[in-house]
A = this chain, B = another copy of it.
């Protein structure tokens, strides 16, 4: 095999119909569909590495993947060719040559997520797959006071994994740079950026902050949940459909 060329590709997808990013035998996954298409276009079995493995039902506007190829076709031609093969709920946003050392996961320096809540008495047809529907009032100011405690380098064990699971063996220490809620009409958006996120971490934070918004936890008690480093102290994970991987940043430039 020749020295490989590395490509970097940005994808958007509606995760509603998929069992998450990571390939699973016999189940529709983003990785499965994308690798099948690339293998067909490039004429050789192709494996991709994502910046983040999104869960079942989670969406992406700016997922980044990297892969090796011996093809000498222009990157844009490969991107266009893949778009023609992909189903309409997955699309290539960009495809470029990267340095041989580029790895979508290891090279990423920052991930941007958004969690959305449709906060209205009636359901929304347009947000049905992209937001949690939660009627009633939320104290957004209290949610933001609480969310401010997340910014910085912390052990996020309280928000990692399912509530029913034992704490994970791997470290949950991460650096969060931004954690804030905004209201835009009937929508509440939680913007969360950091160097990396452990499994279910954004959904665990969002679900627990929604408890703060309902007055079930005070912002002070939310700080104690974070400090507890115990998943059982926090609220439930907010449902997957409200979560969007918005963008991933790399050293040299911002993607998307």
Taken together as a complex, chains A and B put the C-alpha atoms of A56 and B14 apart, in Å, by: 23
- Chain B residues closer than 8 Å to A121, beta-carbon distance: 80
- Chain B residues closer than 8 Å to A123, beta-carbon distance: 83, 88, 91
Binds B, one of A124-132, A176-184, A227-235: A124-132
A28 to chain B, nearest CB (A): 15
Q: Digit string of A70-95 for contact with B (CB within 8 Å is 1, else 0)? A: 00000000011001000011111100
A122–B88 touching, CB < 8 Å: no
A contact residues, range: 10 to 19
Chain B CB within 10 Å — which of A12, A89, A122 has the most? A122
Taken together as a complex, chains A and B put the C-alpha atoms of A128 and B13 apart, in Å, by: 11
The residue in chain B whose Cβ has the minimal distance to the Cβ of A84 is B123
A88–B14 touching, CB < 8 Å: no
Taken together as a complex, chains A and B put the C-alpha atoms of A124 and B88 apart, in Å, by: 8
A124 to chain B, nearest CB (A): 7
- Chain B residues closer than 8 Å to A122, beta-carbon distance: 79-80, 83, 91-93
CB-contacts of A90-142 with B (<8 A): 90-93, 121-126, 128
Taken together as a complex, chains A and B put the C-alpha atoms of A88 and B125 apart, in Å, by: 6
User: What are 9 A-B pairs with beta-carbon distances under 8 A?
Assistant: A12-B124, A13-B125, A14-B125, A79-B122, A80-B121, A80-B122, A83-B123, A88-B123, A91-B123
Besides the known contacts A13-B125, A90-B125, A93-B122, 14 further A-B residue pairs in the complex with CB atoms under 8 A apart: A12-B124, A12-B126, A14-B125, A14-B126, A79-B122, A80-B121, A80-B122, A83-B122, A83-B123, A88-B123, A89-B125, A91-B122, A91-B123, A91-B124
* A residues with CB within 8 A of B: 12-14, 79-80, 83, 88-93, 121-126, 128
